[in-house]
Amino acid sequence: AQKITQTQPGMFVQEKEAVTLDCTYDTSDPSYGLFWYKQPSSGEMIFLIYQGSYDQQNATEGRYSLNFQKARKSANLVISASQLGDSAMYFCAMRDGNQFYFGTGTSLTVIP
Amino acid sequence: DTGVSQNPRHKITKRGQNVTFRCDPISEHNRLYWYRQTLGQGPEFLTYFQNEAQLEKSRLLSDRFSAERPKGSFSTLEIQRTEQGDSAMYLCASSSTGYTEAFFGQGTRLTVV
């Protein structure tokens, strides 16, 4: 069964606008971590934001925030005030046990 | 220590040859992971080390693949008798204990011709 599902293969956003990238996850473990990574065309995976399953508040890191809805098992990434440099692949991931499970990614293109 | 380092960055090899990749994790991290990523896909788990112990290995990993982390520091991933289907980006990551983020290296892109 798929642990992480990202249903948006590609997204477009106007520069300076906000965008939401969807992610749902599946686990029966009460303790887990959720992550978002950015992968530009250079190939490196850049950590963006983390949400623990017991965290009461949504995580925020600068222009990134994670909309964590535990009952719905969703962990959407919100990028505010999009910049041209935000154009990249975005991967949602879950740490469950000893592994990180990744989704198939969403390609974000920021339009000037 | 500026991050996870992987060498080489690119490797082109002929089918049937053996290749070895190296990963130097962030020095204080005791956990090390190898992932494989093919075009258009997310990273796929290969194996996991805690210190020098290889604690988990993907069932998808054929016996042509072997990984070591001899002193709990750097790690090597060897692929024997390479096949064209092994062409991919091989990513190494490290993390500390707990539900913390993993930091990735820049990867080794393998092309088998």
Does any CB of chain A come closer than 8 Å to the CB of residue B77? no
* Token duo for residue A64: 């990134």
> Rounded distance, CA A68 to CA B53, Å?
34
Residues recorded for chain B: 113
| Sole residue written with tokens 């020098």 | B52
C-alpha to C-alpha distances, A88 to A8, A41, A44, A80, A81, nearest whole angstrom: 13, 7, 11, 15, 15
Contact call for A45 and B44, based on CB within 8 A = no
The amino acid present at B98, given as its one-letter code, is G
**Would the CA dihedral through A103, A28, A79, B45 be positive or negative?**
negative
Residues of B in contact with A98 (CB under 8 A): 31, 48, 50, 55-56
Low-confidence ranges of chain A (pLDDT < 50): none
Cα A81 to the center of its chain, rounded Å: 16
> Rounded distance, CA A77 to CA A60, Å?
10
Nearest Cα to Cα of residue A94 among A38, A34, A52: A34
| Residue pLDDT tens, chain B, 113 long | 579 999 999 999 999 999 999 999 999 899 999 999 998 899 999 999 999 999 999 987 889 999 999 988 999 999 999 999 999 999 999 998 776 889 999 999 999 99
pLDDT of residue A99: 84
Contact call for A50 and B101, based on CB within 8 A = yes
Residues of B in contact with A93 (CB under 8 A): 42
The amino acid present at A91, given as its one-letter code, is F
Distance in Å, alpha carbon of A85 to nearest chain B alpha carbon: 18
pLDDT of residue B71: 86
> Rounded distance, CA B58 to CA A4, Å?
17
Contact call for B104 and A37, based on CB within 8 A = yes
Question: Which of A32, A52, A102 is opposite residue B43, by nearest beta carbon?
Answer: A102
